[in-house]
Structure 1
């Protein structure tokens, strides 16, 4: 509940940037992990994605699998989130992503080893296409959790 309130207030502040001339707006980044927990914002997240770019706001949205999101929000994310980073997927999600990635198959998404990704992003106003990359594993624990 508190997280939804904070995200909602942050988005309200982002909307107030419309009164600032575009050339004076600094880029602001909002990171929402576990997106499915915040889909009851005052503004639909699909609308927020559509508006964010024009307000100088970058939204990073993270979730574990596609069925966590209602269909309308999933469609909005698919259409408006231009940069995507995808780790290994289950068969249903892999099939959905392969439909958005003509150069990849569902099997490509399912076969990704740990710490490897496929990503597609905008650069200079153009889409790069899907490329494979590698992330770093988590650092070792500083001490025993027990």
Structure 2
């Protein structure tokens, strides 16, 4: 039996296909590779998306904008001065795309227009901050992606 270029090409292609199939099998069966959706109840949240758009529009229509910056003590959020602090009811949600266990909520109990998220709660990396609150019966929503 002669060995020629045609047989060599077929063997190399078959070996490559086996190699690719092995990695597909490995990626689909290994527990350490999570293939979940980014958030739970994705489809239910999608149905409420228009409410989010309206709340973000309300936030964008404020005269002053939110100020967000890193400080030595953590991440500082400054609320617009036109909002009366005692009428703000809501929460701040910090979402870490790379690790679901680092996500956390903070209730809004403001005594000043500054809200400091402590340094010990945040690891370096990307975070999504969502401030969802009601002010005099009107919903407001502020979203920002930060790198801490």
With normalisation by structure 2, the TM-score equals: 0.24
More helix by share: 1
More strand by share: 2
With normalisation by structure 1, the TM-score equals: 0.24
Q: Relative contact order: is structure 1 or structure 2 higher (C-alpha 8 Å, sep ≥ 6)?
A: 2
